[in-house]
Amino acid sequence: MPENVYESIGRIFGREKIDKLGKFLSQGGISISPLQAAGFGLFSSILLSIGLFVLFSIKSPLRNLLYKFLLLFLQPYVFFDLMFVNISSVILSFILGFGLVIGIGYVLVKFSIDERRNKIEEALPDFLVLAAANARAGMTIDQALWNAAKPEFGLLSKEIQIVAKKSFGGEPIDEALDHLNRVVDSKIIKRTVSLIKQGLAAGSEIALILEKTAEDTRQMQIIQKDLRSSLLMYVIFIGFAAAFGTPFLYSVSEKLIQLMESIFKGIQPATSSAFSFGANFIKPQAPFITSNEFSIFVLLMMLSTSFTASILIGLIQKGKKLEGFKYFPLIFISALIIYFLLSSFLDMFVSQL
């Protein structure tokens, strides 16, 4: 029953968007219907948005924080009115609700796509060598692929078996090979399929094409591993700066602001006109922000820094931004732990002075 409801909701989207979503899900190895996925995503987004709005309504600190956030960016247009804050809460709740559901869903499917691609590309060279040996033994291309699809090749064997079954069922081999392009988001797979199809069309020796493709793929993988090894120091530096250096600086800065606050609380404002006239331009002033406001700023900045560092690590290691998302929780949690530990240590150190 819920599946039918989700499919009905999913029909709100156009056929073109549903087809793109279906291809995206199939590349991630997800067998759920794209209509159900779209309907579930829309339903979850609306439900989460309503929950966030209720949270903003019953929690006055969150409402005050939202008002300060609006003042920070839209000060000339902001006025303190209950209706204005409620409208802003509704807009922000729907933006966060839809953004979280779409973002989390996209990242999870993308992780699955990358994992499938890595496993298939890792097994591809050995599979092509075995398929080339079968072709040299006199097998046709579909038989060579079928007999090379051993269980040790994992996901690649399953997809190759589907291709071979399509070919055995009467579908032309070049059209059956397009199945790999639909379910695997890989430039190497697309290049391999293109070379096989061109070789079949030109009447070339398929065994030689498979062997050369396997050799090129293996050499490319070796080069990528060497590059990742040479860039390891950059990854270590970025991770250390985000997880240890940033929280250290912020904890020291927060403690300085707290000390300045305590100092200026004990200083009475000067009433001497001579002092005011002669030294007004060098008169010390209290910090413009409180320690509590700085704590909120620190959490937001550590979140931003950890996110940026994880993206950079993903780009350096794999050349893809999403590859770095898996490091984000580790970097952010490490930064929080270091920040609170250093803050506690500085509190103990200052209290003993």
pLDDT tens series, the chain, 353 aa = 466 778 888 888 888 888 888 888 888 888 888 888 888 999 999 999 898 888 777 766 666 666 666 655 555 555 555 566 667 777 888 888 898 899 889 888 988 888 888 889 889 999 999 999 988 888 888 888 898 888 888 888 999 999 888 888 888 888 888 888 888 888 888 988 888 888 888 877 888 888 898 999 899 888 888 887 888 888 889 989 998 999 999 888 888 888 877 777 766 555 444 445 445 555 566 556 677 777 778 888 898 999 999 999 888 877 777 778 888 889 999 999 999 898 888 888 877 76
CATH for 119-224, among 1.10.1760, 3.40.50, 1.10.1060, 1.20.81?
1.20.81
**Cα distance between residue 177 and residue 142, in whole Å:** 10
Distance, CA of 106 to chain centre: 8
Q: State the span(s) of the chain assigned CATH 1.20.81.
A: 119-224
Q: Which positions ≥6 away from 136 have C-beta within 8 Å?
A: 207
Those residues with Cβ within 8 angstroms of residue 77's Cβ, 6 or more apart along the chain or in another chain: none
d(CA 51, CA 291): 31
